[in-house]
Amino acid sequence: MGDTPDRSANAGTGGPRVTLGHSRSAGAALSVDVPVTPLDRTPDGVGSQDSDLGPGGTGLGGGGALPRRRAFGAERIFHGFTMAAGMTVLGIIVAIAIFLVAKAVPALDANTANFFTYEGWSPNETEPKFGIGALAFGTVLTSLLALLMAVPVALGIALYLSHYAPRRVGTALGFLVDLLAAVPSVVFGLWGRDYFYGPVRDVSAWLNTYFGWLPIFGGDGPFGRSVLLGSLVLAIMVLPIITSLSREVFLQTPTANEEAALALGATKWEMIRMAVLPYGRPGIIGATMLGLGRALGETIALAMTLGIVSKISFNLIENGGNTVAANIANAFGEANDIGRGALIASGLVLFSITLIVNMTARAIIYRRREFTETAA
């Protein structure tokens, strides 16, 4: 006694015995007089050194009859907890959907104009007239413009941070970008409305003078509180999301792939095109879609910077533009019952737009799954 247990002799003898019905564990016959070691513990606290059990010393590896599955324990509780959490999401979504539809239907019934084609928004009259067309158009237009401006810059910043910047510069700059994401949208709105408005108005006037022959820069003013201002502010707002997500993705590019490209004689830019960007593609798409999601739903900054004119127009620089969310923020205060129902209906449309965008993004990522899932 007192010498260390012979591992090889003990190897096949299994683990702790839980059932007390057997006086000897099944594996005991194999084990040669093993001293009790600290390993000889059973999960339920029954010591294995009970005198009548004899020298059936076992390690954690097993021994004796197989213990019965626990009917109720931490596993089950955790399982139930996670399932409940998952179900909650479903419940919330269903509840919201029911609420929205229930509120929207009476307003849509009372609408005397075509909801999809009418360009104005006057649901509070005795003869309510409102249409989603201009709002949906404005929402999509400002968001797409914002992405058009933000994505290239964001990818540039992300690549610089992940692959070009010296570590210290990269960390500091990355921190600043994250800080930009923490600025509340109402602050962006104020800034856009009171400060950025000036330069944008001047640039718009210049664009109008020299490029006025292009419909998007046409019109005769006033300029400034326009789709251009709104989407510029929006671009600045979505920039940090797209930047930090793409930077994370770029940083995850396997070193092995980067080295493979370099060893083939790629320059840094060629390496990025060969290894980093293709690897990060699903991530870039995801980041862009998240940015688009934020842009589509952005409310207060656009309510403060756009001209709030419900009209379908591609003119970017003239005062005007409106989005679903900005319209809700602006019109909610003085809305009556029908007015609120109409706004909720517009919210449903916004929800569908976002849903379509997200599903499209998933479809794009899914189409390439064969090449991305094996990426390790």
Partner 1 sequence: MAMRIEATNVTAYYGGFKAIENITLTVEPKTVTALIGPSGCGKSTFLRSINRMHEVLPGARVDGRLTIDGQDIYDRDVDVTAVRRMIGMVFQRPNPFPTMSIFENVVAGLRLNGVRKKSILEEAAERALRSANLWDEVKDRLDKPGAGLSGGQQQRLCIARTIAVEPQVVLMDEPCSALDPISTLAIEDLMFKLKDRYTIIIVTHNMQQAARVSDKTAFFSIERTGDPGRLIEYDDTQKIFSNPSEKKTEDYITGRFG
What does the binding site for partner 1 look like in residue numbers (CB under 8 A)? Answer: 167, 254, 256-257, 259-267, 270, 274-275, 278-279, 281, 368, 370-372, 374-376
Angle (CA) 29-30-32 rounded to 5° is 95
CB nearer partner 1, residue 4 or residue 374: 374
Residue 195, CA atoms < 13 Å, CB-side half-sphere: 6
Question: Given the complex with partner 1, which of 38 and 166 has the nearer CB atom?
Answer: 166
Query: Which of 33/270 has CB closer to partner 1?
Result: 270
Instruction: Please state, in angstroms and rounded to a whole number, the distance separating the CA atoms of residues 202 and 115.
Output: 37
- Please give the Cα distance from 254 to 247 (Å, whole number): 14
For partner 1, the closer CB: 275 or 328: 275
Q: Residue 267 Cβ, how far from partner 1 at the closest point, in Å?
A: 6
Report yes or no: 293 and 354 within 8 Å, Cβ to Cβ: yes
Nearest distance from C-beta of residue 368 to partner 1, angstroms: 8
Taking the complex as a whole, the smallest distance from the CB of residue 297 to partner 1 amounts, in Å, to: 31
Which CB atom, from 182 or from 376, has the smaller least distance to partner 1?
A: 376
Residue with tokens 């109402």: 186
Which residue number, 203 or 262, has a Cβ lying nearer to partner 1?
A: 262
Beta bridge pairs of residue 223: 318
Residue from 300, 354, 289 nearest 327 by CA: 300
Shortest Å, Cβ 367 to partner 1: 13
Tokens 């000897």 — which residue? Answer: 24
Question: Which residues touch 187 (CB under 8 Å, ≥6 apart)?
Answer: none
Query: How far is it, in rounded angstroms, from Cα 130 to Cα 323?
Result: 14
Q: How far is the CB of 152 from partner 1 (least distance, A)?
A: 21
**76 vs 368, beta carbon nearer partner 1:** 368
Determine the Cα–Cα distance for residues 294 and 283; give it in Å rounded to an integer: 16
Smallest separation (angstroms) from partner 1 to the CB of 274: 6
- 148 Cβ neighbours under 8 A, 6+ residues apart: none
CB of 247 to partner 1, least distance (A): 17
What gap in Å lies between CA 254 and CA 270, rounded to an integer? 16
